[in-house]
Structure 1
Amino acid sequence: MRKYIFFFVAFLCITNQTKAQGFASTETSTEIAEATTEFTLNKIGDNGFKFETLTTGINSKYADYGSGLFMDKFISFSARKIGALSRKDPATNEPYTKLYCSDILENYDLTRPLLFSSILNKNENLGTVSFNQEGNVMYFTKNKDGDTQHFEMYRAELNPEKQGEWINITPLPFNSDWYSVENPHLSKDGKTLYFASNMPNSKGGFDIFKVDVKSANEYSEVTPIEGLINTEKDEKFPHLSYDQKFMFFSSKGHDNIGGYDVFKSRRTKKGYVTILNLGNTINTEKDEIAFVPATERIGYITSNKDGGYGNHDIYRITEYVLKQTVSGKALDFETGIPLANAEVKLIDTDGTEVANMITNEKGEFNFPISSFEYYTIVSGKEGFYKGSTIFNTDNRTPQYEADVTLKAIPAPIVVEEEKTYIKIDNILFDYDSARIKEISKITLNKVVATLKENPEVSVALGAHTDFRGNDAYNMHLSDRRAASAVKYLLSKGISKDRLTWKGYGESEPVIDCRPCTEAQHETNRRIEFIIVTETN
């Protein structure tokens, strides 16, 4: 028989609102609300988000709320009636909310909920819970004694000697008689605890706060979450995304369709600064709360929208994500010529390298990307300074283009016993031609940079051919190629009196080969830049 380990969630209310456990809308005029909703729906639209929303098998005629996952099970808290003598919360006229546990089926529907813990489920409202990765530490909320609408957070440990029993139940040090502390959510690494509270330093109503978890009984000072999430209205139900890069939360204070809407925000070095309404394929004019991701694309949400079974219901959701890519080229900064065999790296918002590749012969690269990221593309190649470009993504654009340019490093001067020269790659020409290939203009630009950095240097250009062709023809061809290289340097502002040139034909091979391979021919077919004068 399968054993269950139960956990519980603490329900959060807002005082002076309706029976719907404090989450209903509070517009003062039906006409104003309807006009505002229509305007907001048109303004927000679907925001590019596409969700399929289906009911789950655990909803009742009472209020049901999703909370989170625990050991591959779904945890909820509900006012469903258990037994004929269930006591009611006088503030809601429904039974007290208790914690429940459901199996998750292959299609992510949920099985009939079972009570989570007899130790925790008493005559009080329980709410949102959160667990560490090992599943042996739990943070939960329950109402304060004597006030069913005022909540506090607690820490509990799983008894290692008795399955399913929670012990060492301890109130957190920042609970207060003057404000509620609700909706705990623990980061995967267990180092940060997020929660909602209407404590005095909130911007207005409930805000999202955090503390560093230093030990079982020690926490840092409470601080508001960084960025723009908190507003003068209510923000609740913080929950990090499956990959921990985004925060989901419910808010009345940002651009809303109505009541609480669910939002997401990408974590950046400046905090959570871009706030995104998940759009009208998930949000309605009613309240959407408690977004709980189960995978990167599947999760659960709680809503009191029309057509449900009871007060609030739990829905399973699937997000359909647009496939997105970025493509571009690595280009030489001065000429715009594509650079083959350049390394390209894709860096995400957190500064993490998420992909890398080498450009093809056309200098091209292509990466799959994700929405709502600030990407940096960094490229490098031997003989070039690194180049980078930045772009950000939405969830509507399938294809991005982002070229990156690299500036050539000046060619080095090499001093050897027999000669001093400027070291470069071979200058390439079309076959049987003195026309410089486009790619070799990059190499010549490196020579230009070196000469401009060393104005005292003069060079002698020596052009050489391979052994193919007769001697006289090769001599003439090498003269023409030397003259072409000089003409290019002159066009870039190098003074003619710093340059001499001569064609040597095939008379001074680097490799004396008969016959020669194609690689040996290429080595012999070259232009050398010999430094002939250098004064200090």
Structure 2
Amino acid sequence: MKKLYITLSFVIASGMLSAQNAKTKDADKLYDRFEYIDAASAYLKLTEKGYEDSYVQQRLADSYYNMFNTTEAIKWYEKVVASKPKDAEVYYRYAQMLKAEGNYEQAQKQMQEFAQLKPNDERAVTFKNNPDYLTELKSKRPIFEIKSSALSSAKSDFGGIITDDNTIYFTSARNEARKTYGWNDQPYLDVYQATYNADGTTSEATLVESVNTKWHDGPATVTADGNTMYITSESFNENKFEKSDDKKSRFSRMYLYKATKKDGKWTGLTPLPINNIEYSLRNPSISQDGKTLYFSSDMPGGFGGEDIWKVSVNGDEYGTPENLGDKINTPGNESFPSITSENILYFSSDTKQGFGGFDIFEADLNTNAAPINVGEPVNTAKDDFAFSYNASKKAAIFSSNREGGVDNLYMASPICGVNAIVVVKNATTRKAIESALIHVLDDTNSLVTSNSSDGTGRQSFEIQCDKEYSFKVSKEGFEDGIFTMPASPNGSTIVEAYLEPIKPIITETEVILQPIYFEFNKSNITAQGAEELDKLVVVMNEHPEMVIFAKSHTDSRGKDKYNLDLSDRRAKATVQYIISKGISKERISGQGFGESEPKVPCKECTEEEHAQNRRSEF
């Protein structure tokens, strides 16, 4: 029996959805009066009673959009776009809310939808003209130069490390005497070693004695003193496995094991107590002090796929594994962690923006900054992974299947130069600040270059290695700041620039904020406006006796009556935002004054002068 669906016909007028009916009448009245808090509450009550359609969903989304309640706006816009509406503004507003929450990938997808529906819109044109991330990656200065390693064989070779005692350990399927593995029809993996010479060459590889089993073995990591090895092997060693549904096949998990060196030989391969037959642990990397073991696992509590974890080590005692969080991990796969003596984590991801397949990223765990794609030539469109860097030797070894599809080993050495990435944030809210002007000064205080932060608050600068720099950062509404970067030998360095918001000036008659500007012909609260209004909320909480009257203004374009109505909508939007932050509605009111009180009197106004006249005052 077929179900019958009633399709409502909607009328789009001035970007607004019109489908009022008896059930939404009261809520619509509140919305039309710009009383978005009460309107949202009224629409929510309808949904709780089982009345929810795309009209109600969009009215909820737009209410929260106008209040700059990003979390709730995203929740409801997500439902709206599921029905593929033809209103381009829905996608634009959704993108803006996602961007405000830092979800740039999803924001980009919504902007693509917006651009398809309104290709000639200036916002769409600007979006389409922006270079995509891949272009940016390809334009990065190379920070490593690479060459093939003579250690590679015709079989799979990967997971190499260079130790302080000039030994390279790596994993290989080159042992033809071993039985083959059904997945790739190559022999089971073993751990090999070779000597790393001062000129970058290597000796012939030999099998590491005592740590290899009849199952897959490797990759491995070795402590700084060279006396303890952590190695990946299979749960079959412990006679632990899972059976297939038909009971005819057995499946192992990957376990972590520990071995110690005695009289120059590895002994005592013992499983770690954190192993579990319900999931796999592999690809270990031990910190310089031997107290933290990093590894990858699909254990519960992650973000999806395989994540990177760490666990504390105290002799033979191990703590509770900790996930490295969403800055490192994604719903995809992050694997092959390698920690340096400088606490820089290298790892591979198949989900973060890269060239294709697995890409290698670096993350400075000292600053907890976002990971950086190490760029070409280390990364390619193929799988690039298992990058291990020895800082004292300024040498790295990594793996890639870029040639012929077989995993091979490559050597990498740093190129002298620094990619300084300045991240500008609000010191109070910790939110990113875009369009902040950044001046780069060298150690003689001479200006090197300047640029502005992007939508994520970031900007990168290619500067010389082994030289100290400072960054003078300024943004309207914030106090200027100077942030220094010590001399860095090479690679990428994060400089976190926290700007202090300029506090409001309080007089007997006025609270003076930085100007709160509106977009042309718009009345919704922008991100910049929200920043300033939050300061007013703080002042009003500190002075509970304070009562505020908001005056909103337009520029001189448009008819007087229209501008008066537009400014009144802006005043009401401003009032609604303040109330949404917990301020009693008895303490805040507002009125629009149209174009009658320009801040910058002008006959043929420039765009900047028009923008200054579109404002709210208190």
- TM-score, length basis structure 1: 0.52
Is 1:311 the counterpart of 2:406? The answer is: yes
Alignment partner, residue 98 of structure 1? 190
Q: Secondary structure at the match of 1:42?
A: helix
**Equivalent-residue separation in structure 1 for 2:345 and 2:285 (angstroms):** 11
**TM-score, normalised with respect to structure 2:** 0.45
Distance, in Å, in 2 between the alignment partners of 1:87 and 1:392 is: 54
Aligned pairs (5 A) from 1:143-222? 143-145=234-236, 150-159=253-262, 162-167=263-268, 169-216=269-316, 218-222=317-321
What amino acid does structure 2 have at the position aligned with 1:196?
A: S
Q: Is the 8 A contact 2:303 2:331 kept in 1?
A: yes
> Which deviations, in whole Å up to 9, do the C-alpha atoms of 1:204-261 show, x marking residues without a partner?
1111111111221x111111125601111111111123423x1111111211111110
Q: How do residues 119-518 of structure 1 correspond to structure 2 at under 5 angstroms?
A: 119-145=210-236, 150-159=253-262, 162-167=263-268, 169-216=269-316, 218-226=317-325, 228-244=327-343, 246-268=344-366, 271=368, 273-295=369-391, 297-306=394-403, 311-322=406-417, 326-327=442-443, 368-369=466-467, 389-391=482-484
Give distance in 2, aligned partners of 1:176 and 1:326. Answer: 53
Larger relative contact order (Cα-Cα within 8 Å, sequence gap ≥ 6): 1
Does the 8 Å CA contact 1:49/1:279 hold for their aligned counterparts? yes
Provide the secondary structure at the position in 1 that maps to 2:219: strand
From 147, 155, 175, the counterpart of 1:54: 147
> Could you tell me how far 1:295 is from its partner in structure 2?
3.6
Q: Distance in 1 between matches of 2:168 and 2:261?
A: 18
Which secondary structure does the structure 1 equivalent of 2:136 belong to?
Answer: helix
The AA in structure 1 aligned to 2:143 is K
Amino acid at match of 2:287: S
2:286 and 2:212 map into 1 onto residues whose CA distance is 22
User: What is the aligned partner in structure 1 of residue 476 from structure 2?
Assistant: none
Q: C-alpha displacement at 1:109, in angstroms?
A: 2.5
Change (3 A) 1:221 1:122: closer
2:171 paired with 1:77: yes
Root-mean-square deviation (CA, aligned residues, Å) is: 3.5
Deviations 1:116-164 (A, max 9, x none): 11x22232111121122222221111122166773110112223xx431
Change in Cα spacing, 1:369 to 1:236, as seen in structure 2 (3 Å) is farther
Alpha-carbon separation, structure 1, partners of 2:190 and 2:257:
15
Separation in 2 of the partners of 1:396 and 1:178?
39
Q: How far apart are the structure 2 equivalents of 1:298 and 1:148? A: 38
- Provide the rounded CA distance (Å) in 1 between the counterparts of 2:325 and 2:265: 36
For each residue in 1:273-316, what CA deviation from the matched residue of structure 2 results, as whole angstroms up to 9, or x when unmatched?
Answer: 32110112210011111111134642111000025xx7100011
The corresponding residue for 1:423 is none
CA contact (8 A) 2:416 2:465 kept: no
Higher helix share: 2
Residue segments in structure 2 that go unaligned for 5+ positions in a row: 1-130, 242-249, 421-440, 447-463, 473-479, 498-618
Using the TM superposition, name which of 199-208 and 65-74 deviates more.
65-74
**CA–CA distance in 2 between the matches of 1:170 and 1:114?**
23
Taking the aligned partners of 1:109 and 1:149, their CA distance within structure 2 comes to 37
Instruction: Look up the match of 1:42.
Output: 135
Contact 1:89 1:148 in 2 (8 A): no
1:238 alignment partner, SS class:
strand
Give, as a single letter, the amino acid of the residue that structure 2 aligns with 1:155.
K
Give the equivalent residue in structure 2 for 1:527: none
| 1:198, distance to aligned residue in structure 2 (A) | 0.6
Say if 1:134 and 1:154 are closer, same or farther in 2 by CA, change over 3 A. same
Letter in 2 for 1:303: S
Determine the C-alpha separation between the residues in 2 that align with 1:166 and 1:223: 28
Seen in structure 2, the aligned counterparts of structure 1 residues 367 and 283 have a Cα distance that, compared at 3 Å, is closer
Whole-Å separation in 1 of the counterparts to 2:347 and 2:358:
9
- 1:46–1:281 contact (8 Å) kept in structure 2: no
Using the alignment, how far apart are the partners of 2:252 and 2:201 within structure 1? 31
Q: Which amino acid aligns with 1:153?
A: L
CA contact (8 A) 2:333 2:351 kept: yes
What is the CA distance between 1:172 and its match in structure 2?
Answer: 1.2
- Structure 1 stretch 135-144 or stretch 318-327: which is displaced more? 318-327
When residues 257 and 388 of structure 1 are mapped into structure 2, their CA distance, relative to the original with a 3 A threshold, is: closer
1:134 is aligned with what amino acid? Answer: D
**Whole-Å Cα distance in 1 between the matches of residues 468 and 401 of structure 2?**
31
Structure 1 residue ranges without an equivalent (≥5): 1-37, 331-365, 377-386, 403-536
Q: Secondary structure at the match of 1:57?
A: coil
User: Between Structure 1 and Structure 2, whose CA radius of gyration is higher?
Assistant: 1
Partners of 1:280 and 1:124 in 2: CA distance: 35
Partner of 1:514: none
Pairwise CA distance, 1:81 = 2.7
Aligned-residue offset at 1:98: 0.6
**Amino acid paired to 2:208:** F
Q: How far apart, in 1, do the equivalents of 2:161 and 2:465 lie?
A: 33
Query: How far has the Cα of 1:389 moved from its partner?
Result: 3.3
In 2, Cα distance between the equivalents of 1:390 and 1:312?
A: 43
Equivalent residues, number: 305
Q: Label 1:180 to 1:192 Cα distance change in 2 as closer, same or farther (>3 A).
A: same
